[in-house]
Amino acid sequence: MNSLPWLITTKKKLPVVIARCLIPLGQGRPGDYGMVFPILFRVLFLGKPITVYGDGTQTRSFTHVKDVVKGLIKLMEEPKAEGDVFNVGNDHEISIKDLAMKVKEMTKSPSQIEFIPL
């Protein structure tokens, strides 16, 4: 059996929509999955250095969980979405380096940013 969901839906004609949620953030979101924001805030408030792997140019796109839910509801209500795969998220990307600097500035933290080779 093929493990690629978009091929299964197309070949088997299953009445499903596949949504890939791109880094949803919001109140109550657990931070125990190696997520960038909880880790950043944890080290900043503890006064520890911010660790950025590589040169920090890798990017992420964050979306508020309410917007993800709105997108999922729209997909469920759209008959033409059936059998297809969608990314549900924000198309604005930010580098990890810029994110670390922005959060550091907003929290007025004295923590230093340390770049660690991959």
Condensed to tens digits (0 to 9), the pLDDT of residues 28-72 reads: 766 666 678 778 888 888 889 999 999 999 999 888 889 999 999
Looking at residue 2, its pLDDT comes to 41
Amino acid at 110: P
Look at strands 24-25 and 63-64 and give their pairing.
parallel
Average pLDDT over residues 14-30: 80
Q: Whole-structure pTM over 0.75, yes or no?
A: no
Give the residue among 74, 55, 67, 57 at the shortest CA–CA distance from 91. Answer: 67
Yes or no: say if 48 and 112 are a contact pair by the CB < 8 Å rule: no
pLDDT tens column, 59-116: 998 888 899 999 999 999 998 888 888 889 888 899 999 999 998 898 888 889 999 9
21 vs 64: CA distance, rounded Å: 11
b vs e for 77-98, b when ≥16 Cβ sit within 10 Å of the residue's Cβ?
Answer: eeeebebebbebbbeeeeebbe
- At residue 3, the pLDDT reads 46
